[in-house]
Structure 1
């Protein structure tokens, strides 16, 4: 539930993630020649949008009921949701944040209400109406010279909740939270995380199905790009192949591509890079299907890898498998990280973060990175239907880096990957 690598890179290095090839594809689509100009492996991809099954209104109503149970358990009178994934999760409303406050308030009892600019009333109401439980949501509107925060307070007053504890969704912009706090001097504002994360971290069968599909789509796209790439190609153009492949299957997605010494930087470099025969190539990221994310990394070599590359790949492969084998209900999140880190340290690439420079995994769902995290110090026990990345890596500065990342879900008695792991540098898409 933080700024993710995907959004950061999109802002910091748009040339790498939205390169010229993607733009040419749009122009070619207008003339109907796009498929003919693409590499065969990408041109063969089919639109898969009809396969994705949206979350139902009934499931969103169940989520609101669960949120109210957690509000009561945690002593919250209401939770406030600004634009973002959590608003979408509960209400089915995709709404961004600007300088103008728009929030939905879900009380522990009573009808939810919203606050929005007066000129947005109809637009917000039609989106809320998509979920029957939200169709009668009262909207408190404000004009440009009025305080939206007073409208939030007014809504709580109408519910008799002005002096209770109000949960603020953790990604709400500070200026909004501060304004709500000033308008509710008798209320106690707290982080709504016990409610929002308590709901979102445990995935339903429908959510797991969407994540399974998103991961399968990403792996299909990656393989098509891998078959279409070659030495001499720039990493920007390789990323463009992936972007074009996602357009073919019908889902928004992208991937960073790093090669050679730059693969030792986990989130890459903006410096121009050219793929060489025998050099490491590392691709990373995913796509979005009905609001749900995938996040996969693949590391490969065109040509023959060195013995050292093979050895490091084997270590990382074993670390990924060890993390998967360790994850099960009741095990602390930090134990999964420790298990993978021990494999890497015992192989001579420790201690701690010397070469394995990041945690072994992050939660994933409607955000590419969300709670909980598989990291030292997080003693939260795993539970069935939690979902994470499993992504150990070894990064040797000035030489190369190898990361293997697949997404996994916790089962009743263990953990499983959504997709088969990579088995070698030469054949990264051989399924195990």
Structure 2
């Protein structure tokens, strides 16, 4: 099954776990404006003790090396040879960062890199951005600039002809906007254009030891943040108050992160609600989000309860935990991706929460790396086989409309002979962090 990817999920655009939300939470904490302003200059009584206890981790981030980027280009060129692609165009986005180290935004002005089947990459950018482009790139130094009154697509075509691809097969990275792809195709009417995903996904879906270390650090940091926030919950908090605590907790660690927070009956929707919510004793709370370490993202979901959980929540939690464990046990190289979804779904359906998608209403998981959602998907119909180095979310859930939901999510790493989670599982609703 082809897995188009690389777009963060739409819900990520309305997460309330931002610094702005953190500022909104400060009146609950007692001293408006003081906690974030004082962060970084020592402890402040405006922060709960559990959050003050968090330690900085940013100094533990080991960036991707220049040598690894050279290896990535070599791998991409091997895949271009295999798939008979003469060159690949990559525009602004995470694939640009992955191969070159550049961080760029999509705008009407074309900036991108051309990876030829052999030789060094070539960058195309507005001439006035030449200096900043050279400042950022970590692979090669061939930058071609275009002036504001010139056609950037003509320049791209010139570069592609120069690397021998003008009449050949050119791959376009899958997140390049249509208007830009159309411009490049119009400038090279005799070339053949294909989707570059066999190259981009072929490189990015298998994580190196350096990438895994960054993913592990990001996920461990998220788990520590969630635990600190859980210990700081008090009745009457809103979802924005809690998301603000998450933001302030991340500020203590030195990594940027956020969480979508939902309370009580709003946990019965997998992506929650924007409706105002307040926390009371016995209500479930779902945290879902992550942070970044050198561009690599975490994605963890925890379901917790303030005070004592009811028997119904306790039972559903245990079923979801069993489903997550079942998927973990099924995961190993050579197994079809759909088998993990089937393993988790069987536990939930056999426990009476079926049939099929009735209560576990989404796929088991998604690939993760530099994008929170990327190749591949653990879903029925995806017969692609697992390989060592792949990483996915393992996130089963049960959602009971009008009442509550439970979801548990950790990141699954396929090892040489099995699989591991990058963070410890949540063992029980009473002790969600062990």
Q: Which residue of 1 aligns with 2:152?
A: 148
Per-residue CA shift, 1:152-195, capped at 9, x if unaligned? 00101112210111111111111111111111111111111111
Q: Which residue of 1 aligns with 2:124?
A: 115
Task: Say which SS state the counterpart of residue 363 (structure 2) adopts.
Answer: coil
Task: Say which SS state the counterpart of residue 79 (structure 1) adopts.
Answer: strand
Alignment partners' CA distance in 2, 1:276 and 1:27: 26
Alignment partners' CA distance in 1, 2:99 and 2:356: 39
Match of 1:62 among 55, 61, 71: 71
Q: Evaluate the alpha carbon distance shift between residue 25 and residue 89 of structure 1 in structure 2; reply closer, same or farther with a 3 A threshold.
A: farther
Contact 1:41/1:225 (CA < 8 Å) preserved in 2? yes
Q: Evaluate the alpha carbon distance shift between residue 367 and residue 382 of structure 1 in structure 2; reply closer, same or farther with a 3 A threshold.
A: same
Alignment partners' CA distance in 1, 2:177 and 2:150: 19
Q: Which moved more, 1:46-55 or 1:192-201?
A: 46-55
Contact 2:257/2:292 (CA < 8 Å) preserved in 1? yes
Q: In the alignment, does 2:421 pair up with 1:417?
A: yes
Shift of 1:26: 6.9
Q: Evaluate the alpha carbon distance shift between residue 373 and residue 46 of structure 1 in structure 2; reply closer, same or farther with a 3 A threshold.
A: same
Q: Evaluate the alpha carbon distance shift between residue 93 and residue 286 of structure 1 in structure 2; reply closer, same or farther with a 3 A threshold.
A: same
Q: Which residue of 1 aligns with 2:223?
A: 219
Match of 2:262 among 250, 258, 263: 258
Contact 2:337/2:384 (CA < 8 Å) preserved in 1? yes
Alignment partners' CA distance in 2, 1:156 and 1:118: 19
Contact 1:356/1:395 (CA < 8 Å) preserved in 2? yes
Higher relative contact order at CA 8 Å, sep ≥6: structure 1 or structure 2? Answer: 2
Alignment partners' CA distance in 2, 1:14 and 1:174: 31
Q: Which residue of 1 aligns with 2:13?
A: 11
Per-residue CA shift, 1:197-235, capped at 9, x if unaligned? 111011111111111111111111111111111221111
Match of 2:411 among 399, 407, 410: 407
Per-residue CA shift, 1:82-121, capped at 9, x if unaligned? 1111111111111111111101000001221111111111
Match of 2:109 among 88, 100, 109: 100
Contact 1:302/1:426 (CA < 8 Å) preserved in 2? no
Alignment partners' CA distance in 2, 1:414 and 1:110: 37
Per-residue CA shift, 1:275-331, capped at 9, x if unaligned? 111111111111000110110000011112111111111111110000000111000
Q: Which residue of 2 aligns with 1:241?
A: 245
Q: Which residue of 2 aligns with 1:279?
A: 283
Alignment partners' CA distance in 2, 1:331 and 1:321: 16
Alignment partners' CA distance in 2, 1:119 and 1:168: 25
Shift of 1:47: 1.6
Task: Say which SS state the counterpart of residue 349 (structure 1) adopts.
Answer: coil
Alignment partners' CA distance in 1, 2:161 and 2:319: 59
Shift of 1:403: 0.2
Shift of 1:141: 1.6
Task: Say which SS state the counterpart of residue 70 (structure 1) adopts.
Answer: helix
Task: Say which SS state the counterpart of residue 194 (structure 1) adopts.
Answer: helix
Alignment partners' CA distance in 2, 1:370 and 1:9: 15
Contact 1:17/1:236 (CA < 8 Å) preserved in 2? no
Q: Which residue of 1 aligns with 2:97?
A: 88
Q: Which residue of 2 aligns with 1:370?
A: 374
Q: In the alignment, does 2:88 pair up with 1:79?
A: yes
Taking structure 1 as the reference length, the TM-score comes to: 0.94
> What is the RMSD computed on CA atoms of the aligned residues?
1.7
Q: Which runs of 5 or more residues in structure 2 are unaligned?
A: 27-31
Alignment partners' CA distance in 2, 1:204 and 1:174: 31
Alignment partners' CA distance in 2, 1:303 and 1:290: 37
Shift of 1:32: 4.8
Match of 1:342 among 335, 340, 346: 346
Alignment partners' CA distance in 1, 2:113 and 2:40: 44
Q: Which residue of 1 aligns with 2:193?
A: 189
Q: Which residue of 2 aligns with 1:50?
A: 59
Task: Say which SS state the counterpart of residue 413 (structure 2) adopts.
Answer: strand
Contact 1:21/1:241 (CA < 8 Å) preserved in 2? yes
Contact 1:234/1:275 (CA < 8 Å) preserved in 2? yes
Q: Evaluate the alpha carbon distance shift between residue 243 and residue 30 of structure 1 in structure 2; reply closer, same or farther with a 3 A threshold.
A: closer
Per-residue CA shift, 1:329-352, capped at 9, x if unaligned? 000111110111111111111111
